[in-house]
Structure 1
Amino acid sequence: MRRLLFLTIFTTIALLHVTCPVQAQEYPFEDYKLPFDKRVDDLVSRLTLEEKVFQMLNSAPAIPRLKIPAYDWWNETLHGVARTPFKVTVYPQAIAMAAMFDPAALATMADYSALEGRAIYNKAVSLGRTNERYLGLTYWTPNINIFRDPRWGRGQETYGEDPYLTATLGDAFVRGLQGNDPKYLKAAACAKHYAVHSGPEPLRHVFNADVSAFDLWDTYLPAFEKLVTKSEVAGVMCAYNAFQGQPCCGSDLLMTDILRKKWGFKGYVTSDCWAIDDFFKNHKTHKDAASASADAVFHGTDLDCGTDAYKALLTAVKNGIITEKDIDVSVKRLFMIRFRLGMFDPPSMVKYANTPITVLENSAHKAHALKMARASMVLLKNDSNTLPLKKNLKKLVVLGPNANNDISVLGNYNGTPSTITTVLQGIKDKLGNQTEVIFEQAISFASDTILHYRNLENQLSADGHQGFKAEYFKGIELQGAPFLTRFEKTINHNWQEGEQIGEGLAANHFSARFSTVFKALKSEEITFEVDGDDGYRLKVNGQKVLDAWSKNRWGAKTYKIPVSKDSTYKIEMEYWQGEGGAKIRFAGGTFGRTDFTELVARHRDADAFIFVGGISPQLEGEEMKVNVPGFNGGDRTSIMLPQAQTSLMKALKSSGKPVVFVMMTGSAIAIPWEAENIPAIVNAWYGGQSAGTAVADLLFGDYSPSGRLPVTFYKSDKDLKDFNDYNMENRTYRYFKGKPLFGFGYGLSYSTFNYHNFILPSNLKSGKGTSLSVRITNTGKMQSDEVAQLYVMHNNLKIKSAKKALKGYQRVSLAPGESKLVHFKLSPDELAYIDDKGTKRPLKGEITLSIGGSQPDEKLKTSGNIVTRKLIIN
């Protein structure tokens, strides 16, 4: 008992020691009764120049003489805490959350994510691991770039194409994440990527964006302005690309004139990771690291992420390029954030510092993930009330590359939950044993020739154990004795960076060797498939047959081998991983082309077909290398649905049975044939850990769909401008001159709604705001949410402006027959326009206001009428 008491006291002292470095208060910066600014000034005054410079790296080292612990600033929580070694709640991807049109739900998600992040950080403190990436409290989220072009692979991380929607959702996220404590931040949010940044991914390190003052202030800056001036976001991340000839992190206009002077931003700025190197390696605007680093600091970039370029600040000071006082400004901003997070105060003073690890994946968080997944899904088409399906079907055939794909539902910049529900599993869970549910992948995302996988477990053995002998090494060279040896039945790993492979071994900077013996059950040609990250080699009977050791892999590679019955084959796979998470998979089977006619004939007794296709974060995302037609570097070269998917759906339609297309995507996909011919289409995005449950709930009528598109779904590639052109003319619903396939704000319901009693003043004084209201009635037979959307249309053709612009929205829940009066407020800013010089000016003259379930000229059959009124502004 005395031993236990001693250990408890020792652990408590250790925890306090790491969280609040000095309890004896040797220096003023340790006195938590003093204001933060005085404590920061005192701390920084005690640092050497080298200590200051090293604190400006994302991996800031400890300062033992002042008992300041190490801290790594790099962390992410786009839709739940990302890349952490702990199991966490994973919510729908950001673009899906935008489709909810629900700031309150987004704020709750951010609050829950901050709680889980606090629990992880507190655990890291107790273990002395604050120096590790993805364990801190400074989250580089939200991404509030405008999704101006659907080909951008990172658009999935944004809140869509509209500045107003992006600003309001970003505001909700920041407030939810940072909390409402008057003294301490719950976590620190960071608005990124500032600014005028939205692809192409392959060019982001060299690209120079240039837009008019009108587009800059009308489209690209409003969300950043709101988060900086209203939401009080703690941080801003400057982008890789250049803007008007200067790297964004060294831009006179963006960083100095607007961010620091005009908006008065007092928080910290981090570079995007490796962006400082781009100054002299790619943009070629600076001759070396010293001049680049000094210029970035002059422009208010306080933290260098990903590189050690800022170490050259020591040289810059020595050579007189920059002074130590200039560096002090940045170091003080950085320490101010850490003080505001309570990192230098006793845990008893910081209410968040006692958040227990048990909050991870708690019931409220998981329930909210499911709620958000349901509310985000957009019903694009439902002819003849094909949906909801009946639950008493005898046979249901589920097909497609996303039907059982647990990677797609998680999106990118994600954490790892304990349980993931794919669409296939969600349907099986919903129907139980009463319906025969058949699954056939049938095609890949872009091809009808696929590897028909086989369960190889009973054909593999290693040292008397079923499966593989797995040997893991620290470092990437397979050197020395294995750090960890174990037996694994299969090789199918997808670790987040920092996640533990085994005790003491994180999923980065490691290597592994997997060995086994394959026994052929019959004579045939079998294909082995390997898919992995940084590098791998496959050997069969000692011969190297696949070699992707030098970062030339990206995508699965296959090796075909004829095997003889009862013969054995020694299989050895070697793998290494540097930065980032780790993915390695080994599979086997036989290649074959799917005969669509035969497939349909084989399932002629099916009651319905559900095809789950679209695209995947395996194809679109950040700076990727994907060898699939229609994709390039993480972006898309075409927004058309891959032809293989359309061909399969044509065959399914020929059966005469109901066909439902469940589409997963992080961006707009052109589906002209499907929109014309498939009776029911659901856009499910990347729906998070409960995506499959939510899809099944929608398909079988347990809730009514209510999501709305936060981006325009165009008809074809012909609707798109040059990807490199940042001019907003003919882009997004605000400026597009054509007719979209499905417009921004579009989304059907299982119920119907009527709008009436639109009340607003007949005239208004210029420069003032106003209030208005409308009554909404559920005229259908099902409880449902409706998203009421307020648009402003400028009737003065002499003013350059969007032809229509969202200026208000509300999600309303209504029972059948229920009515609610919904109120909107239009601020003076929302009744203003941007002139050619980028100046905001109050409107005058006649404008038109509309409220409905969609844009004013895209009436939905389930949202009934759209009410409009004219307003005279004097």
Structure 2
Amino acid sequence: MKTFPFCDKSLPYDIRASDLVKQMTLSEKVLQLGNTNYGVRRLGLPKYEWWSEALHGVSNVGPGTFFDDLVPGSTSFPTVITSAAAFNESLWKTIGKAVSTEARAMYNLGRAGLTNWSPNINVVRDPRWGRAIETPGEDPLVVGKYAANCVKVSSCCKHYAAYDVDNWKGVERYSFDARVAEQDMVETFLRPFEMCVKEGDVSSIMCSYNRVDGIPACADPKLLNQTIRGEWDLHGYIVSDCHSIEVLVDGHHWLGDTKEDAVAHTLRAGESFIKHILCQEICLDLDCGDYYTKYVQSSVQQGKIREADIDRSLKCHYVVLMRLGFFDGNPQYNSLGKKDVCSEANVEFAREAAREGTVLLKNVGETLPLDSNKIKTLAVIGPHANATAAMIGNYAGLPCKTISPLNALSTYGEVDYQAGCSDTKCKNGSLIFPATQAAAKVDVTIIVAGIDLSIEAESLDRDDLLLPGNQTQLINQVANAAKGPVVLVLFSAGGLDISFAKNNPKIGAILWVGYPGERGGPAIADVIFGKYNPGGRLPLTWHEASYVDMLPMTSMPLRPVDSLGYPGRTYKFFSGSTVFPFGYGLSYTKFNYTLKPAVRSTQIKLNKFQHCYGIKYENDSYNPPCPSVRIDDMDCKEKIEFEVEVQNTGSRDGSEVVIAYSKPPQGILATHIKQVIGFQRVFVPAGGSKNVRFVLNLCDSLRVVDYNAYTVLPSGGHTITIGDDFVSFPLHVNFSS
């Protein structure tokens, strides 16, 4: 083997990969095209399983990872929607590093792969989507920032693109055709993936099951070839969602394709306009499934594709594996092993992540935090009071050691535990009465309710935004019977219409914890009893229940559809009333913002190659001298710089999430209400202050995507706001020749 050029470490990866592929026969090549690469024994090429998962901890969902007596579990961090609520980029990066370390350690022990097919960075367009649990929420910038920060050993950003319908009223992802305007594609659905590739330098993108404007995403040359490779310059491979090629044939019935046609369409979905770069001419490099391994050889023999198309795909595979050390090893990681999985530091950090992602939604009369010196008896009630598996969520492995809310709260006093419901769906109300009896006797009542994977999950979208079954009845009756303060803790990913609890004076405090991971119990107790001051913010709008009656989940536009009476989607385009808005969250202390002097205008001089571009205004007669300039025509080096003093005027230390938004000039037709342009989480001691400085790219921050899908910088009066309009300042953009 030492004589093979592909074993020569002094050669560039692409040369070595090319040599390896040239030494294979056609039948050997096709056996390397599925998620299970069978290897080539005569070349010393071992078998490799590409499919591992590590969404919020090393997972055993994929066949590339398993647990046993040597490695019985891995650290289960909060699900992504909970970590996203922390609005803390350093937290996301640290979680990514911790998971990466555990994955590499398990690889060294022969129990995991090097390629992890996560994160899920689909923007949550509709509150009913079952997979919101896996995502960073509804804002494209926040989702993209999360993606760029949590790239692990070898990550895969998925599911590309316009995928957020799983199974709603009989409409399934395997046959759904997402009819999406290019404006929404550029502005919302593609932006996180572009950030994942350009800022995160991810090594893989996974295409989704659905069609986009009639074309299956995994067979669309524009989406895959021209965009991911041509425009974004992906340094890696594109993989199908599992069995997507089979779905193309049996679910979409695409072009009446035979199996050989289908693999030809995906392996080479159109000729690239850039032919000299490795991997440019092919689209779908790797099949999660067995269609490639079964049908590519006969497709070549039938003249539908060339063997050279296979060669290019395999080169992409092996360059990635060489970068990861699969061929040569990585001496710097050789010491990682059993001690690095479920380490005390990682488990404790899982607790910290759960605390940072906790959102305080209500706190009347400083119900929280509770004084542990005054609390002797507690009623811990609800279907999630003794939760273990429910805290872990999906795409999880085996946690190191899960501590339930009940176990954690039991350390603070004598506990009377009553489930109140037999399960999350709570169809039987017979357990409510014992719960009310318990609440009537104790110093404080803590209700832990919400939903779980039986309500929202992959392949399971919701029909409504209400608590299931008798949970509302349970909460109201327990609250009315309670002798002492009542605290409601909610599990969910998507929003819930809990207006009844928000407005019930007997419920003093409400906490949302998402799905908080293996240390969710201690994290909840820490927040309730004041060991931690919550500072998380909702990464999703919590809509009123009536929202779902206003439009079908299958309507893809983000903007309101006036002709059908459909409201807008996400905080960017929805102007109606909500239960809780995007970015909402309280603290046990108070923060004041003071804006430091900031530049209020910017003058941009255009050269002879830059031209004014017309955009539509609500007032057709309004015609500014230079309405906008297309961002593609600008160098976009200008910055927005501003500073906010955050003062903690309360008596408790705390963390504040400072979210900056931009609002476009008034009168532009059908643009966003506002958009996130930056965020920082800052710790401020009681009575102290911290200056939070933003230095942001002008074009990125003030961008508008017009109806023609051009990204433009409008002239005129933009507005920069901090938080819920706590402070704001105008920023005027002028163009001159």
Q: Same fold (TM over 0.5)?
A: yes
Q: Is the 8 A contact 2:439 2:481 kept in 1?
A: no
Is residue 370 of structure 1 aligned with residue 351 of structure 2?
yes
How much does 1:52 deviate?
1.3
Deviations 1:475-506 (A, max 9, x none): xxxxxxxxxxxxxxxxxxxxxxxxxxxxxxxx
The structure 2 residue matched to 1:282, chosen from 251, 254, 261, is 251
Measure the CA separation in 2 of the matches of 1:669 and 1:254.
Answer: 34
Q: Structure 1 residues 446, 352: CA separation in 2 closer, same or farther (over 3 Å shift)?
A: closer
How much does 1:717 deviate?
3.4
Q: Which residue of 2 aligns with 1:194?
A: 160
Q: Is the 8 A contact 1:147 1:160 kept in 2?
A: yes
Question: Where do residues 553-702 of structure 1 align in structure 2 (5 Å cutoff)?
Answer: 593-596=430-433, 599-601=435-437, 603-623=439-459, 634-657=460-483, 658-677=485-504, 678-702=507-531
The structure 2 residue matched to 1:39, chosen from 8, 16, 22, is 16
Q: Is the 8 A contact 2:240 2:284 kept in 1?
A: yes
Q: Which residue of 2 aligns with 1:9?
A: none
Q: Which residue of 2 aligns with 1:549?
A: none
How much does 1:718 deviate?
2.9
Measure the CA separation in 2 of the matches of 1:307 and 1:676.
Answer: 54
How much does 1:829 deviate?
1.9
**Larger Rg belongs to:** 1
Q: Which residue of 2 aligns with 1:436?
A: 414
Q: Structure 1 residues 446, 686: CA separation in 2 closer, same or farther (over 3 Å shift)?
A: closer
- What secondary structure is seen at the aligned counterpart in 2 of 1:148? coil
Question: Where do residues 114-129 of structure 1 align in structure 2 (5 Å cutoff)?
Answer: 114-124=100-110
Deviations 1:20-79 (A, max 9, x none): xx4xx1201001111111111111111111111111100110210011110000011110
Q: Structure 1 residues 731, 444: CA separation in 2 closer, same or farther (over 3 Å shift)?
A: farther
How much does 1:358 deviate?
1.2
- What secondary structure is seen at the aligned counterpart in 2 of 1:837? coil
The structure 2 residue matched to 1:319, chosen from 302, 320, 323, is 302
Q: Which residue of 1 aligns with 2:538?
A: 709
How much does 1:308 deviate?
3.4
TM-score when scaled to structure 2? 0.88
Q: Is the 8 A contact 1:448 1:593 kept in 2?
A: no
Question: Where do residues 487-498 of structure 1 align in structure 2 (5 Å cutoff)?
Answer: none
Output the amino acid matched with 1:872.
H
The structure 2 residue matched to 1:826, chosen from 696, 710, 718, is 696
Deviations 1:289-342 (A, max 9, x none): 111111101131011103334421111100110000111111110111111111
The structure 2 residue matched to 1:254, chosen from 223, 229, 245, is 223
Q: Which residue of 1 aligns with 2:610?
A: none
Output the amino acid matched with 1:664.
F
Measure the CA separation in 2 of the matches of 1:424 and 1:288.
Answer: 56
Measure the CA separation in 1 of the matches of 2:424 and 2:449.
Answer: 10
Q: Which residue of 1 aligns with 2:622?
A: none
Measure the CA separation in 2 of the matches of 1:110 and 1:447.
Answer: 33
Q: Is the 8 A contact 2:381 2:435 kept in 1?
A: no
Q: Is the 8 A contact 1:759 1:774 kept in 2?
A: no
The structure 2 residue matched to 1:355, chosen from 336, 356, 360, is 336
Q: Which residue of 2 aligns with 1:763?
A: 601
The structure 2 residue matched to 1:403, chosen from 362, 382, 385, is 385
Q: Is the 8 A contact 1:445 1:645 kept in 2?
A: no
Q: Which residue of 2 aligns with 1:746?
A: 584
Is residue 272 of structure 1 aligned with residue 241 of structure 2?
yes
The sequence identity of aligned pairs, in percent, is 35
Deviations 1:211-265 (A, max 9, x none): 1111111111111111112221100000000111111000132112212222222
Q: Is the 8 A contact 2:141 2:676 kept in 1?
A: yes
Q: Structure 1 residues 612, 341: CA separation in 2 closer, same or farther (over 3 Å shift)?
A: same
Q: Which residue of 2 aligns with 1:167?
A: 144
- What secondary structure is seen at the aligned counterpart in 2 of 1:333? helix
The structure 2 residue matched to 1:419, chosen from 397, 401, 416, is 401
Output the amino acid matched with 2:713.
P
Measure the CA separation in 2 of the matches of 1:710 and 1:785.
Answer: 17
- What secondary structure is seen at the aligned counterpart in 2 of 1:759? coil
Q: Is the 8 A contact 2:31 2:39 kept in 1?
A: no
- What secondary structure is seen at the aligned counterpart in 2 of 1:650? helix
Question: Where do residues 115-264 of structure 1 align in structure 2 (5 Å cutoff)?
Answer: 115-124=101-110, 135-174=112-151, 177=152, 187-201=153-167, 203-264=172-233
Q: Which residue of 2 aligns with 1:459?
A: none
How much does 1:780 deviate?
0.6
Q: Is the 8 A contact 2:439 2:445 kept in 1?
A: no
How much does 1:204 deviate?
0.4
Query: Which is richer in strand?
Result: 1
How much does 1:643 deviate?
4.5
Q: Is the 8 A contact 2:259 2:291 kept in 1?
A: no
How much does 1:150 deviate?
1.4
Measure the CA separation in 2 of the matches of 1:62 and 1:150.
Answer: 44
Measure the CA separation in 2 of the matches of 1:757 and 1:665.
Answer: 35
Output the amino acid matched with 2:409.
I
- What secondary structure is seen at the aligned counterpart in 2 of 1:384? helix
Is residue 339 of structure 1 aligned with residue 322 of structure 2?
yes
Measure the CA separation in 2 of the matches of 1:162 and 1:749.
Answer: 22
How much does 1:799 deviate?
4.5
Is residue 775 of structure 1 aligned with residue 635 of structure 2?
no
Q: Is the 8 A contact 1:238 1:248 kept in 2?
A: yes
Output the amino acid matched with 2:400.
S
Measure the CA separation in 1 of the matches of 2:669 and 2:310.
Answer: 45
Q: Is the 8 A contact 2:426 2:469 kept in 1?
A: no
Q: Structure 1 residues 396, 805: CA separation in 2 closer, same or farther (over 3 Å shift)?
A: same
Deviations 1:749-782 (A, max 9, x none): 0011010033320111345222111111111111
Output the amino acid matched with 1:613.
A
Measure the CA separation in 2 of the matches of 1:112 and 1:655.
Answer: 45
Q: Is the 8 A contact 1:95 1:710 kept in 2?
A: yes
Q: CA RMSD in A?
A: 1.6
Q: Is the 8 A contact 1:807 1:830 kept in 2?
A: yes
Measure the CA separation in 1 of the matches of 2:418 and 2:695.
Answer: 51
The structure 2 residue matched to 1:91, chosen from 62, 66, 77, is 77
Q: Structure 1 residues 143, 643: CA separation in 2 closer, same or farther (over 3 Å shift)?
A: same
How much does 1:603 deviate?
4.6
TM-score when scaled to structure 1? 0.74
Q: Which residue of 2 aligns with 1:540?
A: none
Measure the CA separation in 2 of the matches of 1:595 and 1:373.
Answer: 29
Q: Is the 8 A contact 1:400 1:444 kept in 2?
A: no
The structure 1 residue matched to 2:556, chosen from 701, 706, 726, is 726
Output the amino acid matched with 1:233.
V
Is residue 805 of structure 1 aligned with residue 678 of structure 2?
no
How much does 1:826 deviate?
1.9
Q: Which runs of 5+ in 1 are unaligned?
A: 1-21, 130-134, 178-186, 451-591, 624-633, 857-865
- What secondary structure is seen at the aligned counterpart in 2 of 1:824? strand
Measure the CA separation in 2 of the matches of 1:642 and 1:221.
Answer: 34
How much does 1:653 deviate?
2.1
Question: Where do residues 447-596 of structure 1 align in structure 2 (5 Å cutoff)?
Answer: 593-596=430-433
Measure the CA separation in 2 of the matches of 1:615 and 1:90.
Answer: 19
- Give the length in aligned residue pairs: 662
Q: Which residue of 2 aligns with 1:555?
A: none
Q: Structure 1 residues 595, 265: CA separation in 2 closer, same or farther (over 3 Å shift)?
A: closer
Output the amino acid matched with 1:640.
L
Is residue 112 of structure 1 aligned with residue 88 of structure 2?
no
Q: Structure 1 residues 408, 447: CA separation in 2 closer, same or farther (over 3 Å shift)?
A: closer
Greater alpha carbon shift after TM alignment, 648-657 vs 839-848: 648-657
- What secondary structure is seen at the aligned counterpart in 2 of 1:684? strand
Q: Which residue of 2 aligns with 1:74?
A: 51
How much does 1:833 deviate?
1.4
- What secondary structure is seen at the aligned counterpart in 2 of 1:635? coil
